[in-house]
Structure 1
Amino acid sequence: MSLGRLALLTVVAMIAFASNSLLCRVALRETDIDAASFTTVRLLSGALMLWMMLVIRGQQRNHSGSWPSALALFAYAALFSFAYIDLAAGTGALILFGSVQATMIGYGLYTGERFTGLKWLGLFLALAGLVGLVLPGLTAPPLAASLLMAAAGFAWGVYSLRGKGAGDPSLATAGNFIRSIPFALMLLALGWAAGMLNADLPGTLWAVASGALASALGYWIWYTALPHLSATNAATVQLSAPVIAAIAGVLLLDEVLSLRLLLASAAILGGIALVIQQRAR
């Protein structure tokens, strides 16, 4: 794959991730849909979208995806939704992407990747920028919700790492989403038994958009790029997603464009550039 195509796919995937964060925030904060229903609708709509695309392209999904990857996908989606019930957006983003990065970089170091001095500098700069972006809004987060979001980050890191050897990205992503449906239905059944289910039309529509567009298509693109990225580069580049989400909040949600946002964005994107450009020894 050419460097230009890889860069384009990665950018589009990060935009999808950021869009997914915005859609989840709107649905869980401003509508009546509950976390279990949102997660189920998100995964169901994502599976349907990918299945339809495979049918249109005439592809068979036999032997595609895997149950461990599907479980990791479901765990990320469910834990993410439940964590955001009690976490502030900035706190949640910091915990989620910190956990993702720790998982993927830890795996990279475990399997023999080595950092140059500039690569360590880039990683530190990116992390410092992310902390600078969310720190002013941080409060003491609830321990249970923080652990849920950290677990969601771990699950997403595992899902991303497994995507590096998953074969055809379209088949793998579709297979994983379809395999996640039984887990989502079990979660919905538990929510119904506990009397916690609640949904409205706006929340359901946001969940459909999150699943069919930002999740299904975004993960498909991400799985296409992953085999050509090292674990550390894949982990670090995902730090751009909170920046993109913050900028989108300014443009779409009328949030204030501050000097802090500009400086933090420059630090994160500059750090990512250093990590990607420096080859591991």
Structure 2
Amino acid sequence: MKETVLALQDAVREIAHLMRVGSIAEDFGEKHGKQNESGDHQETVDVAADLAVSKRLMNCSEVHAFASEEREAITVTEGGKYLVAYDPLDGSQNIAVNITTGLIFGIFSCSSKLPADGRSIIGAGYALFGAATQFVLATEESGVTIFTLDPTSKEFKVTSARHRIPQRGKVYACNEGLHSKWVEQRSKRWAETMRGRSVRWMACMVSDAHRILLNGGGFLLPADRSNTKGKLRLLYEAYPMAYVFECAGGHATDEHNTCILDLPFPPASPAKVLHMKVPVFLAGPYEAELYAKL
């Protein structure tokens, strides 16, 4: 898996550069004129970020296939044994106001077929494009490792090894403005029990979940009346982030308290389920216990 991780880190370097200088370009952040395959408006920078990742995965001998938020179907390469699923630029709407964005990825041992569930994931993580560029990698063997990009050497240096989510946090992350539109009572009650704490919300899963991973607490993006099946994509957002949280000693469930990694893909063609969405709850031990009791 080492070659795959190095390929993803190299893509992150390129995307980080785009985030730093791309806004100087006239078309940076402009709408690309269409929606991507998961229903979001596609911007020029989304396409550029996808290309930064895809061209490296195409040339990675370990990768047999990859799936992207920006692509209609799985792309099959030659050889390899892994399926890599990724969102190349999470929170791209934040670029216009110079707020953190990210990248999410999962590495599956299932070749070009979609996984039966999230338990075939063997590595996952994300990149954070903010004041510093960070690369977070989770594996069963090494737990969660946080790397920070050295702007001088362009090398990723370990800044936290075997990170563990705190037992209890002081903040929570959810869009309280949509509370009245949420459809699941457990999510409503959990948010209400959290209201003595500070709420943090940046509308970017990577940055919001990263805060919880480091400082403890809970992240919630439930289904609502406009998004009755949830908003986060199971394959390349929910599965990878759930794996990261479990490797760090945290919890990741849907609104029925089912482990995200145990959620199956329905028996349908890949084109119909590749971009399926689910509600997501991520938390440390204390907040997860509260959620389970509601």
TM over 0.5: no
Q: State the TM bucket, normalised to the shorter chain.
A: under 0.3
Bigger RCO (CA 8 Å, 6+ sep): 1
Q: TM-score, normalised by structure 1?
A: 0.27
Structure richer in helix, relative to its length: 1
